[in-house]
């Protein structure tokens, strides 16, 4: 039996130096919500969303995270695997709940959305 990915819909990578990267690339399911608010739902858009979600729901994580988004991928970095698990849960919540996603988009820092 396959092991459940506890970081879904994201993937977790562990690096040799003990740091972790959380990757999210499945933008198709939320594209309509971003378009409805005149935003792009790629890696940069999700950077803004995740930053807003952390501020809204898990502000203590902020100091444990850094970000390295690209157009085709959102990436969060941390030495704290559990912090990235919590970010993955925030992303999963926003993917499953369009109203939460809309709230995060509207509260996102516009400079992070480009």
pLDDT tens-digit profile of 45-75?
A: 999 999 999 999 999 999 999 999 999 999 9
pLDDT for position 3: 61
Mean residue pLDDT of the chain comes to 96
Does 5 fall in a domain? no
pLDDT for position 89: 98
Domain coverage including residue 79: 11-108
8 Å CB contact between 11 and 87: no
Does 101 fall in a domain? yes
pLDDT bucket at 2, cuts 50 / 70 / 90: low
Longest dimension (CA), the chain: 44
Does 113 fall in a domain? no
Does 50 fall in a domain? yes
Does 62 fall in a domain? yes
- The model carries a pTM of 0.95
Give the position of tokens 């030495």: 79
Does 1 fall in a domain? no
pLDDT for position 87: 98
The percentage of the chain sitting over the pLDDT mark of 90, rounded to a whole number, equals: 94
Does 57 fall in a domain? yes
**d(C-alpha 12, C-alpha 41), whole Å:** 20
Does 46 fall in a domain? yes
pLDDT tens-digit series, residues 88-103: 999 999 999 999 999 9
Among 24, 28, 7, 14, CA closest to 69: 24
Tally the domains of the chain.
1
């Amino acid at each position: 039996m396959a092991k459940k990915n506890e970081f879904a819909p994201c993937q977790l990578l562990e690096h040799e130096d003990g740091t972790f990267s959380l990757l999210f690339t499945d933008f198709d399911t939320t594209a309509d919500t971003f378009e409805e608010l005149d935003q792009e739902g790629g890696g940069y858009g999700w950077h803004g969303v995740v930053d807003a979600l952390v501020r809204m729901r898990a502000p203590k994580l902020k100091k444990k995270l850094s970000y390295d988004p690209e157009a085709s991928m959102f990436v969060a970095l941390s030495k704290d695997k559990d912090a990235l698990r919590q970010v993955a849960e925030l992303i999963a919540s926003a993917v499953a709940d369009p109203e939460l996603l809309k709230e995060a988009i509207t509260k996102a820092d516009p400079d992070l959305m480009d």
